[in-house]
Amino acid sequence: MAQEKKPGAFARFTEKHAELWKFIKFAFASGGSSVVELIVHMLLLNYVFASLTAEAITNPTLNMIGITSQGYLYTYLISTAVGYGIAFVLNRKITFKADANPTVSMILYLIMVVFTIFANGWIGSAITTFAQAHALTGNLWDMVIKVVCMLIPTIWTYPCNRFIIHRKKKPAESDNTQT
C-alpha cells in the first residue's frame, strides 16, 4: 500500500494563502518585465535614439504625459510595448492561469494600458517637475523616476489583471442527467 505524500511547506503556504501567492507571482512577473522595460528604455534613450532627443515634439497630448522629444517618444513606445507585452503573457500564463477569451483579455488589457500610460505620464510629469525644481536631474534620476512611475500603477493594475483581464472561466455545473 502506497503511503500518501504530504504536501511540503511551500505547497501548504501557496494553498493556504492563494491570493497572496497570486500577488507575489504578479509582483515577480511585473518586476521582471519592468526590469526588461527599464533596460530597453535606457539603451534606446542613451544609444539608439540619443540623437533624436534634441528633436522637440510640441504635441500637447504627448507633452502632457512627459514626451517632449522624438527620441523619447520612440524610446517610450518601444520599451513600454516590450514591458507590457511580457507582463501580459507572464500574468496570463503563470500568475493567473487565465482561460478566458484571449482576444477579450487583450482588448481589456489594452484599455488598462492606455489609462496607465496617461496616468503614469501625468504622475511622471509631476515627479519630473519636482525633481527638476530640486536639481535632481541626469540619467540616474531619470531611472529613479521611471522606477517610481512603474511601481505606482500597481494600485490599479493588480486588481484589473486579477479580476477583469485574466479571469478563469467559471466551472460548468455538472450535468447529472442520464441519457
Which pTM value belongs to this model?
0.78
39 part of a folded domain: yes
Asked whether residue 99 is domain-assigned, the answer is: yes
- Domain extent, residue 42, equals 19-165
Look at residue 31 and tell me if it is in a domain: yes
Contact 66, 131 (CB under 8 A): no
pLDDT of residue 100: 92
Mean pLDDT value across the chain: 89
Residue type, 82: V
In a domain, 179, yes or no: no
Helix (H, G, I), strand (E, B) or coil at 69: strand
In total, how many domains does the chain have?
A: 1
HEC string of 32-63 equals HHHHHHHHHHHHHHHHHCHHHHHCECCCHHHH
Residue 11, domain member (yes or no): no
Domain annotation covers residue 106: yes
Rounded distance, CA 57 to CA 68, Å? Answer: 5
Inside any domain, residue 71: yes
| pLDDT (tens digit per residue) in 31-79 | 999 899 999 999 999 999 999 999 999 998 888 777 889 999 999 899 9
- pLDDT recorded at residue 179: 45
DSSP string, 94-115: IIS---S-HHHHHHHHHHHHHH
Of the two residues 57 and 172, the one the predictor is more confident about is 57
User: Could you tell me if residue 173 is inside a domain?
Assistant: no
